Structure 1
Amino acid sequence: MNEPSYQEKFWQIISLIPSGSVATYGQVAELAGLPSMARAVGRTLSQLPKDTQLPWFRVINAKGEISFPKDSPPYQRQRSLLEADGVVFIRGKVSLRQYKWQP
């Protein structure tokens, strides 16, 4: 049996992030067993099809921020998806203490 690709491992982890929670790029990489590949998580997400069902928007950076440039359309889209999920932003940040997924 073939070992899943690192992208598949990331997708599997991201698919488990529950509504109202976030995970960091590094956390996804670590849970996938690839702790040094946080940047690859971001690359993998950037290559998802537009109509993906994967909750990609629940992955944010280690500072609790969305990685897209503020005020860009992708930033606004990710922020509104997270807010619809019940995640609260304070001064542009998400409280990782409060919202970070603890599998």
Structure 2
Amino acid sequence: MPAQHRPAARPDSPAADRADDPVCDPDAIPDFAERVLDVAERIPPGRVMTYGDIAEWLADGGPRQVGRVMALYGGAVPWWRVIRADGVLLPGSERRALEQYRAEGTPLREAARTTAGQAVPRVDVRRARWDGHSD
């Protein structure tokens, strides 16, 4: 997705003064965020990458920085394909993510927890993980 179609960085970010953080440094936000979102867009349907996988693939930042980018800008890309390392679905987004996983045939595992009285499966990371090259 071209940069001009993505939301602008939030200047009121509470961590905006942390210049050593590639997500929080106002000069680094656009480039780092664009690179994270570009990787997220490349993940094929039915496959996933963890926050740490993306940071490692980019050789920049870490899982928390990638997570921050996804929290701020991820709505513009297939956000459900970027997950926690344990495969547990993020609270509050379980239903929407689960719909996408089922539609795409993403491998799932037994319920990790319950939400609103319903069992919520998790992504089978071992089977669904994308290495950034194949597919």
TM-score for both structures, normalised by structure 1: 0.79
Higher strand share: 2
Task: Tell me, in whole angstroms, the C-alpha distance in 2 between the residues paired with 1:42 and 1:97.
Answer: 20
Q: Which residue of 1 aligns with 2:99?
A: 80
Q: Which residue of 1 aligns with 2:72?
A: 47
Aligned residues: 94
| 8 Å contact kept, 2:50–2:85 | yes
Say yes or no: does 1:90 pair with 2:116: no
Runs (5+) with no aligned partner, structure 2: 1-27, 111-120
Letter in 1 for 2:46: G
Runs (5+) with no aligned partner, structure 1: none
Helix, strand or coil at the partner of 2:73: coil
TM-score for both structures, normalised by structure 2: 0.62
Q: Which residue of 2 aligns with 1:30?
A: 56
Task: Tell me, in whole angstroms, the C-alpha distance in 2 between the residues paired with 1:22 and 1:49.
Answer: 14
Structure with bigger gyration radius: 2
Helix, strand or coil at the partner of 1:93: strand
Q: Deviations over 1:11-61 (max 9, x none)?
A: 111111011101101001111111x421111111111275x2x11110111
The structure 1 segments of at least 4 consecutive aligned residues displaced by more than 6 Å after TM superposition are none
| 8 Å contact kept, 2:41–2:78 | yes
Q: Which has the higher contact order (CA 8 A, sep 6+)?
A: 1
Q: Which residue of 1 aligns with 2:32?
A: 6
Q: Percent identity?
A: 31
Task: Tell me, in whole angstroms, the C-alpha distance in 2 between the residues paired with 1:95 and 1:49.
Answer: 22
